[in-house]
Each structure stands twice: as structure tokens, then as C-alpha cells.
Amino acid sequence: MKVIRGAVDEMWSVMEQMVGSIFRHGLPLTDKIAARTALTNFVLHIHPVRVRRSWIRMSYTLCLGGLSFFLFIVLTVTGLYLMFYYVPSINHAYQDMRDLQFVVTFGGLIRNMHRWAAHAMVITVWLHMARVFLTGSYKKPREFNWGVGTLLLLITLLLSFTGYLLPWDQLSIWAVTVGTNMAKYAPIAGPYTRYLMLGGHAVGDATLLRFYVMHVVGLPLIGFLLMVVHFWRVRKDGFSGGL
């Protein structure tokens, strides 16, 4: 009996040690514990530990920057799932989309979430920009972060646009044809730019591969790095706080 009790105690303390190694400070019952938790936690280190109450009123940011970032994460996760089933070639892409829709477990749901989250992100980023403008938060010392934000808006639009081609249905190739046609009007560089984007003179296999590579690696990587800088600057410039 004693041996069993001892073994259970031992197991319990190992488990406590495991949990304790992840959550080092217990429940945040006092400000001191809470502060220490926030200070030493990787996920939470993105916030300042201490803030003025007026800075974190939801009526000020409407959470729009945070939601844009959250949607980016949702898009990354759902996008990974789609990548398991999608082959970026004109012989497979469309059939893969149909399989996702009708055959793959949760394929339709995940595809829908990816699509609607992309539209939502264009809207939240746009509204976040409006919030920053209307509260004058781009003024000194935040000029630079406004510029980083502008680039993030462009990346968001380009991510949506490159994703638009991937289902390889009538909607996608003609939307992309119309979109890339705009590029060719630039003086001198125009036709070359368009050729570079399409990998040819018309939307085809090469275009699909280029858009896919930019959509799943190139643009998300640039976007992620810009976000890291963006968040860093929000912290270092000091959040603009209430009006």
C-alpha cells in the first residue's frame, strides 16, 4: 500500500513539475504574479506589462490591428491544410479544389474559412488604417510605422490577389487577366512587368506556379517580417493611447 502511495505521489510531483515548467507562476491572483507572468511569457511579451487604463480601451483601437494579425494566423493555418491537397498545375488545380469541396474531410469548411478570412482581412486592415488616420496616430514619432503599415496593406492586397488565381476556375483566370492587364500600361516597363508576373504572354501553367509560390511563401514571409517590425515599432514608439 505504502509503495503504491509513494509511486502516486512521485508521479503527481513529476506532473506538477511538468506543468510548472510551462506555466511558471500559477494563477495571476495578484498584480505582482500577473506582471511576472506577462514578463516571462513568450506569447504575452508582445504587450507592455503595465499600461494606462486609457490605452487599452477597445473603443480606441476597435481591436482592428489585432484582428488583422489574428486573421493572418487563421489564414496561415487554414492555408496549410489546403496545401496538403492542392497541386499548383493546370492539370490538377481545379480538380483538387473540387475534391476539397466535396471529398476531403472538412475541406469545404476550411476552404470557405480561408476565402472569407481573406476578404475579412482586407476589410479589417483597411479599417485599421482608417482608425489610425482618424486618431492622428501617424503623427510624430509614428511616421515610419505608418509607412510600414502602408506596405502591409499592399502585401495584404497582393496576397488576396495571388490567391484568387489558385482555384483555376473561370472566375480566377479572368480576374487575374484583367488585373495583370493593368500592369502593361506602364511606360517601357509595363509589358516586361506583365511578362514577369505571368511567366508568359497569357495566364497559364507558369502563371499558376508563380502566383502559388508568391502566395504561399514569398508574400507571407515579407508580410510576416513587416509585421514583426510593425509591432516592434508600436512598442518602441509608445502606443498613441487615448485622444
Partner 1 sequence: MATEARDRIAARDRVEARRRQVDAPSTLRDDSDDEMIVSFPEFVFKEFIAMVAMTVFLVLVSIFLQAPLLGQANPGVTPNPSKAPWYFLGLQELLSRFPPLMAGVAFPTFVIVLMILVPFLDRNPSRRPSERKVAIILFALYMAIVVALVIIGTFFRGHEFIWNWSWVLGNPQTCGGKSC
Of these, 34, 49, 153, 183, which contacts ligand HEM (CB under 6 A)? 153
Give CA–CA dist 198/185, Å, rounded: 15
State yes or no: residue 198 binds ligand HEM (CB under 6 A). no
145 closest CA partner among 69, 221, 237, 45: 237
Of residues 48, 199, 218, 220, which one binds partner 1 by CB under 8 A? 48
Q: In the bound complex, what is the minimum distance in angstroms from residue 243's beta carbon to ligand HEM?
A: 10
For the bound state, the minimum distance from the C-beta of residue 180 to partner 1, rounded and expressed in Å, comes to: 10
Contact between 65 and ligand HEM per CB under 6 A: yes
Indicate which single residue of 38, 69, 113, 114 sits in contact with ligand HEM (rule: CB under 6 A): 69
CA–CA distance, 123 with 121 (Å, rounded to integer): 5
CA distances from 53 to 29, 131, 214, 241 (A): 19, 19, 41, 9
The reply on whether position 234 binds ligand HEM by CB under 6 A is: yes
Give the list of residues 6+ apart from residue 151 with CB closer than 8 angstroms, or none: 226
Under rule CB under 8 A, residue 229 binds partner 1: no
In three-state secondary structure terms, 137 is coil
Residues 122-141 that bind ligand HEM (CB under 6 A): 125, 128-129, 132, 137-138
118: contact with ligand HEM by CB under 6 A: no
